[in-house]
Amino acid sequence: MSDEKLLVYRFCAVVMYLLQIETLRAERFTVTGVSVLEGPVLAPFGTVLELSCQLSPPQNAQHMEIRWFRTHYTQPIHLYDDGKDLFGKIIPKYVERTELLKDAIKEGKVTLRIFNVNPDDDGRYHCIFKDGKFYEEHITEVKVIAGSSWVQILAHPPTTKGVIVECHSRGWFPQPHSEWRDSRGEIIPATSKSYSQDGDKLFDMKMTLLLRDSSLRNITCCLWNPLTGQEESTGIVLPDEMFSWNFIWKMFVGALLIVMILFIIIPSIKLHILEGCSCTHSSPWCVAMLIATLSTATLLLLIFSLYRKNRESLKIICSKDEVGRREPLLQSDDKPLTLPFPLLRLSVNNIGTITTDFATCVLP
């Protein structure tokens, strides 16, 4: 009986030993990231991105296969195997753009370096360590970011509907948030918003606003990056002249029509009815109507020419370039530039605004 117990005991010991060995093999290592920050890694456009991963517990990984890929295992962006970088198996868009830093590979740590970051690099990155048939991976989320300090406000010449103001900016990623604000900081609903992407896949933005009266002549265009919170803005204070024209020309035309009706058309009709004369080239009726028609046409032509001249003289641009200066309206010595299209001449004062006889461009 004791021999049977000893046999059973030995059998159980062997089974437990084998299970322990299998467990140790299954938990040979894990792969972790090096960054202590939670959330995605932010990668500014055009910079060098470094992504690290390491074995836990630390151990020599020189003999292992180390594979970095995006969405498909068979399409690596960098591949290391048995002590060599296999550049020939890298997908085309990452050829000569990646480098694997192996200074600490004996401790199980490697760093993938990606040059010239662009919007296509946004997304997930898989790091796999493979030893024989056993492998583990770590996934890192990357968010490409780009911001721009170039914000331009263009105030179009006034029309019969009002004044159309446009805000332009370029070089953002991801798509920026944008809004108009009044002098109290309250949001003004935009008339329209449109976005496009340039050759580098950065976002260009255009936002328009239709102003019908001077109650909202002090406005600011605000943009910010939803990931970094970077905010840029440019403001403008529109002149009253841009809103008064619409009222002036309507009043002028109305007064002209009243004068024509009271002093020319009505007396001529009375004369025609009372005298019963036919319309000939010498009759007072026809002469009066001809004078009224020519006078109306002449005055309308004059109003149109004054309107066109007023539109050109009130075209305003407020712009800030990438280093915070206003462009192209000012040179470094604050002298106005001569431009190929009619613009107001601006000058900078000491309190952070750009002023003219007609408008003010407010520095953020």
pLDDT of 222 higher than 70: yes
In the predicted model, is pLDDT for residue 65 greater than 70? yes
pLDDT tier at 156 (50, 70, 90 boundaries)?
Answer: confident
Q: If pLDDT is split at 50, 70 and 90, which confidence band does 161 have? A: confident
- Token pair, residue 51, equals 């992504």
Q: Phi/psi class of residue 335: alpha, beta or left (left: φ > 0; alpha: ψ in -120 to 50)?
A: beta
Of 142, 173, 175, 115, the residue nearest 42 (C-alpha): 142
Q: What is the pLDDT of residue 97?
A: 96
Q: pLDDT tens digits for 24-33? A: 444 489 999 8
Determine the Cα–Cα distance for residues 4 and 7; give it in Å rounded to an integer: 5
For the cut 80, the answer to whether the pLDDT of residue 141 exceeds it is yes
DSSP sequence for 173-235: BSPPEEEEEETTS-EE--SEEEEEE-TT--EEEEEEEEE-SGGG-EEEEEEE-TTT--EEEEE
- Among the residue ranges 8-22, 51-65, 198-212, the one predicted with the least confidence is 8-22
pLDDT of residue 77 exceeding 90, the answer is: yes
Among 143-157, 167-181, 324-338, 349-363, the minimum mean pLDDT is found in 324-338
- What would the two tokens of residue 20 be? 């322990």
| Least confident residue range of 53-57, 197-201, 235-239 | 235-239
Say which residue the tokens 């109306």 belong to.
296
- Segment 308-347, tens digit of pLDDT: 655 554 456 676 654 343 333 332 233 332 223 333 333 2
Which residues fall within 8 angstroms of residue 272, CB to CB, at 6 or more apart?
279, 285
pTM for this prediction: 0.68
Is residue 174 over pLDDT 50?
Answer: yes
